[in-house]
Amino acid sequence: MKPNIVRPKLNTARMLAGGAVAGLIMNVSEAVLHAGILGTDSEQLYKTLNIPPPSPAANVPVLIGAAFLIGFAAVWLYAAIRPRFGPGPRTAVIAGVAVWILSHVWSGVYLANGYAGIIPTRLAWIPVIWGLFEAILATLAGAALYKE
């Protein structure tokens, strides 16, 4: 006989609102990092490789969409683990760290090792470090909007 487990329903509207906020924070953060802090390094890499940089008109919408998807995933993960870990900032940090591991850490490892000698260490690892703070802050902000 199966135990009678009470599973709270996901508040989809709140999850989407929180995910949108998390995605917005991630997008602003990524713009500051890649267009500002690492912009010159990226330009130099394209010059060194003697290839044109990608078209912003084609690239930027994809990057914006992907950051929003990660924001939605972060708040969905928060909502999913909330019954086990309890509501609040601690659970949001756990979800944010999980998102960071699954997105930023993997990306840094892949760029640094998969393209060793092509992608400078700075371009591979600064986004990983930056992403830890970004993922946690965005998940905290999005989770603050989530209520069951």
For 46, other C-beta atoms within 10 Å of its C-beta total 12
The predicted pLDDT at position 29 comes to: 98
Nearest Cα neighbor of 108 from 18, 22, 33, 32 is 33
Report whether 148 contacts 24 (CB < 8 A).
no
The predicted pLDDT at position 148 comes to: 87
CA distance 67 to 78: 17
Report whether 23 contacts 103 (CB < 8 A).
no
The predicted pLDDT at position 25 comes to: 98
CA distance 134 to 148: 25
Report whether 96 contacts 18 (CB < 8 A).
no
Instruction: Name residues of the chain where pLDDT drops below 50.
Output: none
Output DSSP code: residue 1.
Answer: -
